């Protein structure tokens, strides 16, 4: 059975490993073994504590469905018949990149394959990880929200943002719990990242967000206040629609 493990590297980017193994642990052992043989860069060497953020058993009846073309660029390191090669391919995803390599080199069986999406931005991934970790910690979320309210209230004309922010925090919790899905998770993470940048800019480098660096603090506060207000309006509607009193 093909196993697909997705690892989070130390810079926040992802490395995928596909192999034929009986279970997740066996696949992880193979990934550790072969990554040491293949890669000179320590970044790509899988260690016992390297975090596995996704795992999938790729059954044969689903393998043919992965298209072997696309516009995304992948670097693929593959081991088969005692040989190894590293090659760049274009595909629409991890599975199609795997199928493309097998087809190009007429490989039978299930080779050991590492696949890295070269379009990933390590800086973006690292910053988004900060936002993700903040969202998962109530104490951290409380602190940055309190700091943001203080910052926002310094600016004339923004109104009282505290009420919106309290609801926005409740929305974040519902998103993390999986109860509220109308606003993309990534949008919330990015908003948190910009708030963190605003309240403690020394901790984040934000060239990755076009508007940051081109706008002053007042403009950023106004942008976030509007975003939070719009999000909260949608969230309030959802809460009314899903309230117990509306269930018959």
Predicted confidence (pLDDT) per residue in 158-212, tens digit: 767 788 888 888 898 888 888 888 887 777 887 888 888 777 654 555 444 544 5
Q: Which two tokens stand for residue 63?
A: 């393998």
Listed in sequence order, the DSSP H helices in the chain are: 24-38, 60-63, 94-104, 122-136, 138-152, 162-176, 185-199, 217-241
pLDDT for position 15: 96
pLDDT tens digits, residue range 124-166? 677 777 788 888 888 888 888 888 888 887 777 776 778 888 8
For 157, 193, 194, 195, the CA distances from 200, given in Å and listed in that order, are: 23, 10, 10, 8
pLDDT grade for 97, boundaries at 50, 70 and 90: very high
- Residue-level pLDDT at 163: 83
pLDDT at 81 over 70: yes
Q: Which residues of 133-168 are buried (b: 16+ CB within 10 A; e: fewer)?
A: ebbeeeeebeebbeebbebbeeeeebeebeebbebb
**Confidence at residue 228, expressed as pLDDT on a 0 to 100 scale:** 87
The CB density around residue 11, as the number of other CB atoms within 10 Å, is 13
The string of pLDDT tens digits covering residues 9-57 is 887 889 999 999 999 999 999 999 999 989 988 889 999 989 999 999 9
């Amino acid at each position: 059975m093909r196993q697909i493990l997705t690892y989070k590297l130390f810079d926040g980017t992802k490395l995928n490993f596909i192999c034929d193994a009986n279970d997740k642990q066996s696949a992880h052992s193979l990934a550790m073994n072969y990554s040491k043989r293949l890669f000179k860069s320590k970044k790509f060497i899988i260690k016992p504590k390297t975090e596995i953020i996704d795992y999938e058993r790729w059954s044969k009846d689903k393998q043919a469905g992965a298209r072997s073309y696309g516009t995304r660029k992948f670097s693929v390191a593959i081991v088969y018949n005692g040989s190894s090669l590293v090659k760049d391919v274009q595909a629409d995803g991890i599975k199609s990149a795997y199928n493309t390599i097998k087809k190009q080199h007429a490989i039978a069986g299930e080779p050991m394959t590492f696949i890295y999406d070269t379009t990933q931005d390590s800086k973006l991934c690292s910053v988004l990880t900060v936002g993700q970790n903040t969202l998962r910690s109530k104490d951290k979320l409380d602190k940055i929200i309190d700091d943001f309210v203080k910052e926002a209230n310094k600016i004339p004309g923004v109104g009282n943002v505290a009420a919106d922010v309290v609801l926005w925090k409740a929305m974040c919790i519902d998103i993390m719990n999986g109860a509220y899905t109308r606003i993309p998770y990534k949008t919330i993470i990015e908003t948190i990242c910009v708030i963190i940048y605003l309240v403690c800019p020394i901790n984040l480098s934000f060239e990755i967000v076009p508007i940051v660096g081109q706008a002053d603090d007042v403009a950023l506060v106004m942008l976030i206040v509007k975003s939070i207000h719009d999000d909260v309006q949608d969230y309030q509607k959802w809460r009314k629609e899903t309230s117990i009193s509306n269930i018959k």
